[in-house]
Amino acid sequence: MTVGGYPPALHFLSDLGIEAHVGPGPVATARIRVTPHMTGRDGGVRAGVLATLVDVVGGAVAARVLRPDWMATADLTLEVVRPATGPFVEARATVVRRGRTTLVTEAGVFNVLDEGSEVTIGAEDHGPVAWATMTFAVLPGQSPTSTLDGHQELPDRWALAGEGLDRPVVEALSISVVDAAEGRISMPVQDYLFNSFGAVQGGVMALLGEVAGAEVLGESAGAEGDFVATDLRVAYLALGRVGPIVSRSRVLAAQDGHPHRSAVVELFDAAAGDRLTTVIDVGAVRVAAAATGAGS
Amino acid sequence: MGGLLTTVDSIGGVLAGLSVQPDWIVTTSMMATIAHLSHRGPLRSHARVLRRGRNAVVTGLDVVDEGNDDLPVAAVTMTSAVLDPGAMSLEFVRPVRSPMPPPVPDPQTPEEFFNIEPGEGLLTRLHLADRLRNPWGILHGGAVATLVDVAACRAVAAVRDGADGDPRGGEPAVGLAAGDTVIHYLRPARVGPVEARCQVLGGRDGCTLVRVAVHDVGAADRLVDLASVAVLDV
């Protein structure tokens, strides 16, 4: 089902197959079935896909609390502590502060079985696979930019049933690497990616940051190998409406010989005056190290 | 890291405040990515306003090590809420200049300066002295950053020591340092003492993630800040 017609059947969120449950109270859960097309080089769900999931679950609980007002994601942070391998990945969100102009949520992300219990393999593989926070800017209920009516009833449960991803998510979003050494990628804007404001969904912007960050870090490391993004810190500055969305990236350098690397990715709406839309700090680890999923 | 973010909060805050005068700002969130942990100094920050809205200002800061060929130290994105300053005096002579003070010959440790109690374990406490308040009269964002830095490192050390029942206890001791940090300043801390309560979430490859919830004990124990800190083995 959809909420007020959003998202349509042919949509990225629908193809992820997100199921959500809101309430009772200021809590929400959302989950997806892990498929090979959404996983990264470490075998876990890509950080950008997890960001999309937590943005949806955070938005679901925010919409319930703020109704009839609406909201837009202002910032999102995601820290992955071990690969999200499923078989399902579930995000559980709560509201930590509701203010006049902003609402802050946090979410834990867990590997779960179909019946909902957490996957535990040994003493080291317990607890969340990731932790996230989101800040939402509160918008008036009659926002002229949103296609949604804030006064309509919001369902307690909903499931988005699309066709599913039939190819890797980066291909499905038509993301192309222009210059890996510069962390320059490009993605056309299409209805398939829109949020309720008719702009590129925030999770997709995070995914772009993940891809660009991993590319520039991998190129800078040379023979050290590929990197997988584990941390995303995203500041949403403006909507990406026209496209293509293009990136510029820079490596922040290694942390004094530490296996972690970081990069800063900026996303621009090329045909909208090259407007800066999003800044994403990306943390990453080498694939071989990440794949072990070793606990601390 | 706490000292670095104290400086960042001050510089980014002044820039954001100047951009919205005659209004002023209060920091609501800080997302810091740390590139290098050892510095020669002096450090130089370059701040720019990324977005100036009606209710909020987003500021981006890059910190480099001048003494080490401008090696990147950190990239930080701050969000500040725009507020009516009321009776607060906010007069500046443009361009705003604040000369660097000379080095302190016998500096206090961050824990001493920020009134952080000695201790160990998953809970770390700060006493709210007047000199730790910002112009709004609330605990300075940099003090919060230092508190969560110290608390997160103590929490990981405690788990490593097996002091808190974690099954991973008993691992060899290593040096620990706070790295990438996210702080949401949710509510003002006005009363104190202020407690940082940590939850070690896990980690991989020499990096442990800690969730830190900061409470103002004297204000009905309300949650005032929520943070995450990546604690690095060094």
Residue among B50, B168, B186 minimizing CB distance to A97 = B186
* In contact, A55 and A76? CB cutoff 8 Å: yes
pLDDT in tens, A196-244: 888 999 999 999 999 999 999 988 887 767 889 999 999 999 999 998 9
pLDDT grade for A254, boundaries at 50, 70 and 90: low
- A246 inside domain: yes
The more confidently predicted of residues A156 and A87 is: A87
**CA–CA dist B179, A5 (Å, integer):** 43
Q: A109 to chain B: nearest residue by CA?
A: B201
Q: What is the largest CA-CA distance in chain A?
A: 56
- A121 inside domain: yes
- A7 inside domain: no
Q: Taking CB atoms and an 8 Å limit, are B81 and A295 in contact across chains? A: no
- A5 inside domain: no
**CA–CA dist B40, A76 (Å, integer):** 33
> Which residues of chain B neighbour A260 with C-beta distances below 8 Å?
179, 205-207, 230, 232
Q: Which residues contact B109 (CB under 8 A, 6 or more apart)?
A: none
pLDDT grade for B77, boundaries at 50, 70 and 90: very high
Domains of chain B: 1-86 (3.10.129.10), 117-234 (3.10.129.10)
Q: Angle CA(A49)–CA(A51)–CA(A56) in degrees, nearest 5?
A: 100
Residue among A79, A276, A293 minimizing CB distance to B209 = A79
* In contact, B151 and B227? CB cutoff 8 Å: no
Residue recorded with tokens 């940090």: B181
pLDDT grade for A124, boundaries at 50, 70 and 90: low
CATH (domain of A191): 3.10.129.10
- A40 inside domain: yes
Best of B64, B148, B205 to disrupt the A interface (most A CBs within 10 Å) is B205
Looking at the predicted structure, is the pLDDT value of residue A255 above 60? no
Structural domain boundaries enclosing A27: 12-292
Shortest alpha-carbon distance between residue B146 and chain A (Å): 20
Q: Is B115 left (phi over 0), alpha (psi -120 to 50) or beta?
A: left
Q: Which of A17-26, A287-296, B86-95 has the lowest mean pLDDT?
A: A287-296
List the end-to-end C-alpha distance of chain B, in Å, as a whole number: 14
* In contact, A107 and B201? CB cutoff 8 Å: no
pLDDT grade for B1, boundaries at 50, 70 and 90: confident
Q: Does B71 touch chain A (CB under 8 A)?
A: yes
- Residues of B (91-150) whose Cβ lies below 8 Å from A: none
pLDDT grade for A57, boundaries at 50, 70 and 90: very high
Q: Which residues contact B103 (CB under 8 A, 6 or more apart)?
A: none
User: Which of A198, A181, A202, A178 is CA-nearest to residue A190?
Assistant: A198
Which pLDDT belongs to residue A196?
85
Q: Which residues contact A26 (CB under 8 A, 6 or more apart)?
A: A61, A64, A65, A94, A95
- A6 inside domain: no
As given in the structure block, the two tokens for residue A159 are: 């499931």
Give the A:B interface size as CB pairs under 8 Å. 158
Q: Does B216 touch chain A (CB under 8 A)?
A: no
Q: Taking CB atoms and an 8 Å limit, are B29 and A135 in contact across chains? A: yes
Q: Does A177 touch chain B (CB under 8 A)?
A: no
Provide the mean pLDDT of chain A. 89
Q: Taking CB atoms and an 8 Å limit, are A238 and B51 in contact across chains? A: yes
User: What phi and psi, each to the nearest 5 degrees, are found at residue A217?
Assistant: -70, -40
Q: Taking CB atoms and an 8 Å limit, are A252 and B72 in contact across chains? A: yes
Instruction: Specify the number of domains making up chain A.
Output: 1
Q: Does A270 touch chain B (CB under 8 A)?
A: no
Q: Taking CB atoms and an 8 Å limit, are A97 and B37 in contact across chains? A: no
- A2 inside domain: no
Which pLDDT belongs to residue B153?
97
Q: Taking CB atoms and an 8 Å limit, are B201 and A237 in contact across chains? A: no
Q: Which of A80-84, A138-142, B54-58, B126-130 has the lowest mean pLDDT?
A: A138-142
